[in-house]
């Protein structure tokens, strides 16, 4: 089966990814995305082999490839920011002011 989303990194993108991996200062997710993109660049590694090497699912590798092609380098590396929190606040300031015994 041919890949639908082929990764072709520029020299600058490759250097930036290598820098992220080398420093290991960013989040573990960002470092893993950088590692996946570096291995996905070119014909050498399959998605299954990349997933095994970095202890993630094959679907994760496919999603990173797809995000690079569709959304660009920055979103593929940094991920999408949530528009809202995953869960609504349970306690807010108004509730805390009206119920001082709780806080």
Alpha helices in the chain (DSSP H): 11-23, 28-40, 47-53, 58-71, 73-78, 93-98
Q: Which of 3, 15, 1, 10 is nearest to 66 (CA)?
A: 3
Q: 33 exposed, middle or buried (CB, 10 Å; 0-12, 13-18, 19+)?
A: buried
- What is the value of pTM for the model shown? 0.77
- Residue 68 binned pLDDT confidence (cut-offs 50, 70, 90): very high
Residue 3 lies in a domain: no
Full residue range of the structural domain in which residue 66 is found: 11-78
Residue 70 lies in a domain: yes
Residue 83 lies in a domain: no
Instruction: Give the number of domains in the chain.
Output: 1
| Distance from C-alpha of 80 to C-alpha of 31, rounded to nearest angstrom | 15
Residue 67 lies in a domain: yes
Q: Tens digits of per-residue pLDDT, 15-31? A: 999 999 999 888 999 99
| Contact in structure between 5 and 26 (CB atoms under 8 Å) | no
């Amino acid at each position: 089966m041919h890949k639908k989303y082929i990764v072709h990194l520029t020299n600058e993108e490759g250097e930036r990814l290598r820098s992220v991996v080398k420093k290991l200062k960013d989040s573990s997710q960002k470092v893993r995305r950088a590692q996946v993109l570096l291995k996905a660049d070119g014909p050498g590694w399959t998605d299954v082999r990349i997933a095994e090497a970095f202890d993630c699912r094959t679907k994760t590798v496919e999603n990173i490839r797809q995000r690079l092609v569709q959304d660009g380098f920055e979103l593929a590396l940094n991920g999408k920011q949530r528009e809202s929190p995953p869960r609504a606040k349970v306690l807010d300031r108004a509730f805390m002011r009206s119920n001082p015994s709780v806080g």
